[in-house]
Structure 1
């Protein structure tokens, strides 16, 4: 199982701050596609991704037991 953490507008859109995804291994790009299809989170294209608190790319692989965080861009002044 992979724990997915959501922040800011992603969290608001889904109504929760985390999801548990049943899979043993998946690329970040595939995980994003799965979440877009299942939860309509099309905003995942413009977010930073971290695996176990280290920044990751769409080609990185997530394994069971990992935590993935999707972090939207921050703005403000």
Structure 2
């Protein structure tokens, strides 16, 4: 039940602005992750999701996003951008 609720929370959060860039991060093996919609400093919005980062990675792909580590090797969050539909 909690798994479905977390997935619905991710879908609802993305649906607010589906074309934004999203990032997520969590501690190693943590059962929760922080999902953020990136904008300028005033419009950045983050939520905590009860989901391992590996499952959140999969959920973002299911929503049509490509996620990868940033180019800066000192950063450990995942960057996610919507894949344009052709």
Q: TM-score, normalised by structure 2?
A: 0.30
Q: Report the TM-score when normalising by structure 1.
A: 0.32
When Rg is computed on C-alpha atoms for both structures, the one with the higher figure is: 2
Higher share of residues assigned strand: 1
